[in-house]
Structure 1
Amino acid sequence: MKPCPSITALTAQNAELQAAIRTAQKMLAAYGDSSSFDQFGYAQAHGALAESLRILLRALGTDTEKGSSLVRTPGGDQPPRCPAAHIEDPDPCRGPVVVTVLDASNAGASGCEHHGARLLASLDGGRVYALPDAPDGAAIRVFNAADTIRPFPWLTDAPRTRDAQLSRAEARDRGERR
């Protein structure tokens, strides 16, 4: 016979579930009607709704498969990559999915540290959060790495002359030298 969970565990689980339900309700309210979306709007809505569903499933204790957040690349000939990996980014994932990166409107994608940093570097007003089972310091490592990565780093054939096209560290250095 299974022992009864403690009151504290039930309260913590209930709080996590309540937070997951509130998140799902907000995402559904924001993205439930897709009739006026463009292509970017659909992608943003899909990411937000998928992430809120993952949070809800995790709170219910049913999202037990570690690889469930990985997606297959087009053609299926490469290993699965995390949702934070841009479709045009040729780099493979480097490690498990450990962070969620949110943009200024709270749409987000979970990913490995490598793709999380590349995504964060490409966003204005983005934030990074470690997932509950992430190793200590994962979000800090992603944040620090993003500071030195240029936006959309897989685009290497265009000249980068404006501050917005440089890494945040390069833009800061450039401003200090002027």
Structure 2
Amino acid sequence: MTDLSMSPHTGDTTHTYPDALVAAITVAQRMLDTYGIVDYGNSGDVAAAHGALRESLRILLRALGTEPDPAARVAELHRLCAADYAQAAPRREQQDAAVRRSVAAQFPAVAAFLDDEESGQ
């Protein structure tokens, strides 16, 4: 592995990498050494390699101050879920109507009770 105690361009020991970046580079090098060659026929090995490399990239991005904002990811996920929920509304209404028809056909007393409850609201 590369000696990170010196500047890569000058060999000058007065210009060193920040500690977080040194740690991130070390982690990335170790992960690449460990998971650089994977048996793609073994899904467990592939999953372990993917997770390790993803984590080493996250650590490196954090050390560089460019890690994606988790709040932005959550906001985007919320937006996508809300859009999907709104888009599925007609399908849910159709399914609810189909269930009501089925209940009415098989259990008229239950259907009458549900109708009474619904009209009381």
Q: TM-score, normalised by structure 1?
A: 0.31
Q: Could you say which structure has the higher helix fraction? A: 2
Determine which structure has more spread, i.e. the larger CA radius of gyration: 2
The alignment's TM-score, normalised by the length of structure 2, stands at: 0.44
